A and B are shown apart, each in its own frame.
Chain A
Amino acid sequence: MGNQILAQAAKDAGAKMMFGYPITPSTEILETWAKFCLKDKSLKILQTEDEMAAGFGTIGACLAGIPAFTATAGPGNILMQDAIVMAEALRIPMVGLIIQRGGMSTSTVIYSQEEVRLTCFGGNSEGFRIVYSTANLQELYDYTLKAFQMAWKYRWPTFVLADGYQGKMVGEVETSLQKSPMTNLKPILTKGVNLRNCYNLEEEIAEKITNYNDEYQKVRGEIEEYEEYQTQDAKVILMAHGIVAAATHMAVDKLRKKGLSVGLFRPITLRPFPTQAAINVLAKAKKIIVLESALGQLAELFKAELFGLNTTLIEVNKPALGFTPEEIAKTVLKLKK
């Protein structure tokens, strides 16, 4: 199951502790980690009193130099933002596995892509985070490994953004035999270190945010990831992320068979958004169709980034509903006209 794969990946990445509060559809991550802790005494778990404690507990462990993570969904993701903005402010390499459920409010425990905005930009901050949106079980494994590496390398809080479909999906993955160990793994709160997140003057915090942004912009090219498929000659570019991108990938094959010059651009990092790559691909297209299980949260992300691109853009929004490849193919055929 996807959630078990995520827990296994965290273990293979070198994580030592998990702090979490049960919430569907992410709970099996916590349960799987609890089983790991029974067998391997170097691992620890704390089922906390709420998601805030889970987030701040993760931060506490990271301050001591121990790779730690949490997992949550929906309303829990909202409470988690309290800790996440502090992780941004203090450069704490916390890792979070976000298994999107339905929005808004408590909603369903099943599926949506309604937590994009929250995971990328939640809280009173500027989105100094790394967010990977996975599309299948193998990617759950691979990007969880990567999330720990990147979090500790760059010291930005890092998230694997999946969904209830991926979390509950059953299948096999290839686990990596060559694990790249985390770098820069050392205690943060040590002798001589006094950390604060509270400032007296506007100028002080303005300078801090500006410096963080300079650093973030400097390294974003090393972090950004995307997938492009059949885009070389494509007149219509479909844009999707996560599991919707997996369905879109199949839809492209179907449409190509019918002779349509269609391609897929899929951002894998939603933060930082792969802007330059998107511009290169999209500038050649006549039409962009964005498909997502939310009301324009992905479209909003890249419209903000690609201001000025002179291409027709159509949004296909299905809040909290999944897409089948057949349906995507049919929709594209209709919209192409």
Chain B
Amino acid sequence: MNDNIPNFPSCYKVSSKPHKFCPGCGHPIVLKMLGQVIDEMKISNKVIFMVDIGCSLLAWDFFDLPTTQTHHGRTVPTAVGFKMADPEKIVIAYLGDGGAYAIGLQHTLTTCLRNNPITTIVVNNTLYAMTGGQLAPTTVDQEITTTTPGGKKEFTTLKGPELLKNIARPEAYLARGSTDKALVLKQYLRKALETQMKNNYSLVEALSVCPTNWQTNAQKTIERIQNMEKIFKTGEF
């Protein structure tokens, strides 16, 4: 029986499992990769984890790590404040595309511009999932959301790492991975934390899935994220 229990990262908080995300959600894949990286780098005594509002808030007790929720879009400045106060810590701001690219975009931009040594992880599922699937800056052309029922066509799609590339210092680290290729994503997360440990800014966007709001079965979910990978180029920037 015990052989069937998967090997969770040791920084997981066992008492909060099963986790609070919907079945099929991409968040637990990102968090598992992050947990493995934290284990492998042996930095669990140094990591401070901060989560935004939106589905990311469900990770408030995911890890056995010092963790706090913040307000929508305000995880990044809270992380910056903590890092300034305790530079020895490795501070991670974990948020969705709404938090990072809409309501908190000014913080994402400015933190990159200032090269604040924190790591921002953005989970991009192209919509506002917690509130039921509304238009996000990342919503792709023709995508139907609850606030674009006729399909989105008003403006272009925001691409975070591409935007930040223009203002990031050469020492900063920007990457986009996908939950569809979790082990590649894991490498990006590791490099992002290593970048912070060298006192530079890092951001990793993770393309993710939301079968609940996408209203997709397993097959369609995989097709859709693979299509997203054509629109949002994965790799290091």
Contact = CB atoms under 8 A, between A and B. Distances in A.
B60 A195 contact: yes
Contact of A65 (B13, B74, B85): B85
B110 A189 contact: no
A198 B77 contact: no
Interface of A: 16-17, 19, 44, 46, 48-50, 52-54, 56-66, 68, 82-83, 86, 90, 187, 189-198
Interface string B89-125: 1000000000000000011011000000000000000
Contacts of A17: 81, 84-85
A189 B60 contact: no
B121 to A, nearest CB: 17
Contacts of B32: none
A52 B60 contact: no
A192 B64 CA distance: 7
State the main secondary structure of chain A at its contact with B: mixed
A64 B82 contact: yes
Nearest to A85: B71
A326 to B, nearest CB: 47
Contacts of A65: 85-86
Most chain B C-beta atoms within 10 Å of own C-beta, residue among A54, A57, A82: A57
Contact of B80 (A50, A60, A82, A196): A60
Contact of B110 (A16, A53, A187): A53
A194 B77 contact: no
Interface in B27-74: 45, 48, 53, 57, 60-61, 64, 66-71, 73-74
B79 interface: yes
A61 B81 contact: yes
A54 B66 CA distance: 22
Contact of B57 (A48, A82, A191, A198): A198
Nearest to B48: A189
